[in-house]
Structure 1
């Protein structure tokens, strides 16, 4: 077996990461923000490349999205499928999340499908109007 430079994953660290992803998914803003403030990387991604802000956006948690972007989360960070937090919020019809992401520089043309394409595909005319 060839040597590797990748250290083995600490099971406790993996458990903590899983908990933080659940906080983003569940919209537990205060606890999520406390973990990020304590040193959890705001750009942390899971095995699918979903960032904390992607999960919070996809599940429609505007307060969590705002807390993460205020702490430096990349609003245009795509996951492994090329999806962005903005496209995820459009797909879920989460207008409040869309507005927060746009206010923090999200690019509606980024990703595949982009937020613009997603809005057209699912008939989210009100959200599509925000991109013009």
Structure 2
């Protein structure tokens, strides 16, 4: 007969109450993966620009479509959110921002800042580019 030893269970996600900090930590990882694929799109654009007008026209046709603009908008948000979230992690690496109020402020700053900067960047790009 085998005797079962009672051991404490390891905490699992169901044990914890979800917080915005936890959610944005996961979003930070997801945006990192999204940046990988978005950078492939950027590389396609640069290679096409170096290849000539026909190749560049194909990329421009894609990025000018609704789906293309949606992807580029998402890439812009992922880039800016990942940047701000990375700065949040950098603050933590320096030993700052661990109090509950500071942690929440940094988290909300990364979330709202990423969205706001994305919208402002696109507004500026449309203003400078004339809506092209």
Shared topology, TM-score over 0.5?
A: no
TM-score by structure 1 length?
Answer: 0.28
TM-score by structure 2 length?
Answer: 0.28
Whose relative contact order is higher, 1 or 2, with alpha carbons under 8 Å and at least 6 apart? 2
Larger radius of gyration: 2
- Structure number having the greater helix percentage: 2
